[in-house]
A and B are shown apart, each in its own frame.
Chain A
Amino acid sequence: DAKTTQPPSMDCAEGRAANLPCNHSTISGNEYVYWYRQIHSQGPQYIIHGLKNNETNEMASLIITEDRKSSTLILPHATLRDTAVYYCIVRVATEGRGSTLGRLYFGRGTQLTVWP
């Protein structure tokens, strides 16, 4: 089962920041937070991941609360091409005996619609 909770849908005006929330209140100490997105008819695309510090890359920023029970993905200047389903996932950091590293649970995600 997915260990995350996300709103089913969100809207954002083009050029504005899109802030997508995710709750992961049962996250374990060795679990990272990953974000993927899936544009219609394509395979999911990796966006960003983090453990406890905020992270930024060319696509987005990830803000993780101090207690790590929630996070926010920020698309600073949303474009029409950012319309997609965004998935927040938690997974273990290391692989070992009995690890479930391979089991990414995608849940239902958030449908982000960017409008002109």
Chain B
Amino acid sequence: GAGVSQSPSNKVTEKGKDVELRCDPISGHTALYWYRQSLGQGLEFLIYFQGNSAPDKSGLPSDRFSAERTGGSVSTLTIQRTQQEDSAVYLCASSYHGQGNYGYTFGSGTRLTVV
């Protein structure tokens, strides 16, 4: 597609439930990133995938968070046993890391509300 697509755009879930957030990056982009943004806060790095390399998971806040990227394209961010503090907008971005320096393209995010 023309841009980074994220689904769902909004998700309300009950505390303790698991949720899956999906990201479709721009075709051909080799790198994929997940960030989250709590209300009124800046962007917090979560995880980074680059090609076939092992992902950089250093930003994941707890072991309840995990992410996969299948076939070097679509990525799923899973949050198990959701807590109210997980409420935030989860943003996905992709970029091409070849010659030169390319900016990230962000999706519109998934707004997660844990009640």
Contact = CB atoms under 8 A, between A and B. Distances in A.
A103 B103 contact: no
A107 interface: yes
Nearest to A102: B48
Given A102-B45, A102-B50, A46 B56 contact: no
B42 interface: yes
Secondary structure class of chain A's binding surface, majority of residues: loop
Interface residues of B, number: 23
Residue of A44, A45, A87, A103 contacting most chain B CB atoms (<10 Å) = A44
Nearest to B102: A46
Interface in A86-116: 87, 93, 95, 100-109
Contact of B50 (A87, A95, A105): A95
A104 B109 contact: no
Contact of A105 (B31, B33, B45, B109): B45
A49 B101 contact: yes
Interface string A21-47: 000000000001010100000111110
Contact of B91 (A43, A49, A93, A108): A43
A100 B103 CA distance: 15
Contacts of B108: 42-43
Interface string B24-53: 000000010101000000110100101000
A60 B45 CA distance: 26
Contacts of B50: 95, 101-102
Given A102-B31, A103-B45, A104-B45, A44 B59 contact: no
A87 B105 CA distance: 14
Interface of B: 4, 31, 33, 35, 42-43, 45, 48, 50, 56, 58-59, 91, 93, 97, 101, 103-109
